[in-house]
Structure 1
Amino acid sequence: MNILITNDDGIYAPGIAALARIAKEFGTVRIMAPDVEQSSMGHAITHSRPLYVKKSVISFNDIEALRVNGTPADCVALGTELWPDTDIVLSGINMGTNLGNAMWHSGTLSAARQAVMLGFRGIALSTPVGDEEPDFDYLAPYVLQCLELLMHDTEPALYNVNFPRKPKAIAFTRQSVRHYDGRVVTGEDPLGRKNYWISVRPIEEVEVGTDRYEVQQGNISITPLRLDLTDEEALQKMKKWDNIIFQS
Structure 2
Amino acid sequence: MRILIANDDGIYSPGILALAEVASQFGEVRIVAPDVEQSSMGHAISAHKPLTYKQTKIGEFEAYRVNGTPADCVALGLFHWDQQVDVVLSGINLGTNLGNSAWHSGTLAAAKQAVLFGTRGIAYSTPVTRDQPDFSTIKPFVKQSLEMLLPQPELSLLNVNIPVQAKVMRWARQSVRHYDGKVVTGKDPYGREHYWFTVVPVEETEEDTDRWAVEQGYVSITPLSLDLTNHEELNRARERVNL
Shorter-chain TM range is over 0.9
Q: 1:120 is aligned with what amino acid?
A: T
The TM-score normalised by the length of structure 1 is 0.91
Q: How far is the alpha carbon of 1:142 from its aligned partner?
A: 1.2
In 2, Cα distance between equivalents of 1:231 and 1:217: 29
In 2, Cα distance between equivalents of 1:140 and 1:221: 15
Q: Which residue of 1 aligns with 2:79?
A: 81
Q: 1:147 is aligned with what amino acid?
A: L
Structure 1: state its 5+ residue gaps: 244-248
User: Does residue 31 of structure 2 align to residue 27 of structure 1?
Assistant: no
Provide the secondary structure at the position in 1 that maps to 2:170: strand
1:164-196 Cα distance to aligned partner (Å, 9 max, x none) = 111011110000002448543221223433211
* Structure 1 residues 203 and 137: CA distance shift in structure 2, 3 A: farther
Instruction: Report 1:53-64 matches (<5 A).
Output: 53-56=53-56, 58-61=57-60, 63-64=61-62
1:56-96 Cα distance to aligned partner (Å, 9 max, x none) = 1x4321x2100100000001111111112111000000000
What is the aligned-residue identity percentage? 60
* Structure 1 residues 90 and 203: CA distance shift in structure 2, 3 A: farther
- Asked if structure 2 preserves the Cα contact closer than 8 Å seen for 1:128 and 1:134, the reply is no
Q: How far is the alpha carbon of 1:200 from its aligned partner?
A: 4.7
User: Does residue 166 of structure 2 align to residue 175 of structure 1?
Assistant: no
Provide the secondary structure at the position in 2 that maps to 1:40: coil
User: Does residue 1 of structure 2 align to residue 8 of structure 1?
Assistant: no
The TM-score normalised by the length of structure 2 is 0.93
- Asked if structure 2 preserves the Cα contact closer than 8 Å seen for 1:100 and 1:212, the reply is yes
- Asked if structure 2 preserves the Cα contact closer than 8 Å seen for 1:173 and 1:211, the reply is yes
In 2, Cα distance between equivalents of 1:181 and 1:108: 24
Instruction: Report 1:25-174 matches (<5 A).
Output: 25-56=25-56, 58-61=57-60, 63-83=61-81, 84-130=83-129, 132-155=131-154, 157-174=156-173
1:127-179 Cα distance to aligned partner (Å, 9 max, x none) = 01458424212211111001111112234610000011110111100000024
Mean CA deviation greater in 189-198 or 63-72? 189-198
1:91-136 Cα distance to aligned partner (Å, 9 max, x none) = 0000000000011000000000000111100000000145842421
Q: Which runs of 4+ in 1 moved over 4 A?
A: 200-204
Q: Which residue of 1 aligns with 2:236?
A: 237
Q: 1:151 is aligned with what amino acid?
A: L
Aligned length: 241
In 1, Cα distance between equivalents of 2:79 and 2:115: 14
Provide the secondary structure at the position in 1 that maps to 2:58: coil
How large is the RMSD of aligned CA atoms in angstroms? Answer: 1.8
In 2, Cα distance between equivalents of 1:130 and 1:27: 28
Provide the secondary structure at the position in 1 that maps to 2:137: helix
Q: How far is the alpha carbon of 1:202 from its aligned partner?
A: 7.0
